[in-house]
Amino acid sequence: DIQMTQSPSSLSASVGDRVTVTCRASQDISNYLAWYQQRPGKVPKLLIYAASTLQSGVPSRFSGSGSGTDFTLTISSLQPEDVATYYCQKYNSAPRTFGQGTKVEIK
């Protein structure tokens, strides 16, 4: 099975900072990569799919890039409501594995 590895596991940044989360697949998954946000105690929310397509209603400060094995989620200007754990997911084939998550906090 393809493994998904995120880094870092957690980060702390100031409001307004640019934040980057990385996801690496153990094999080529083309652009079949999604990012989810899970705020504390809430249901996961789809942010980005096809590596870089913003889901409807998601603020434009979120962006995604990458293809093949290396992917990035960027928050251009961190806001207090962005405190959450972020997960990448490969969905090109089963199993649709998630990364282990990256917890983003405000400094």
Partner 1 sequence: QALLVQSGGEVKKPGASVKVSCRTSGYTFTSNGINWVRQAPGQGLEWMGWISPHTGNTNYALRFQGRVTMSTDTSTSTANMELRSLTSDDSAVYYCARDLVSGFFPSPFDYWGQGILVTVSS
List residues near partner 1 by CB under 8 A. Answer: 1, 32, 34, 36, 38, 43-46, 49, 55, 87, 89, 91-101
Q: Which is nearer to partner 1, 38 or 72 (CB)?
A: 38
Cα end-to-end span (Å), the chain: 36
Work out how close the CB of 97 gets to partner 1 at its nearest, in angstroms, rounded to a whole number.
Answer: 6
Q: Which is nearer to partner 1, 75 or 102 (CB)?
A: 102
The per-type count for the chain, helices as H runs and strands as E runs, is 0, 10
Q: How far is CA 25 from the centre of its chain?
A: 13
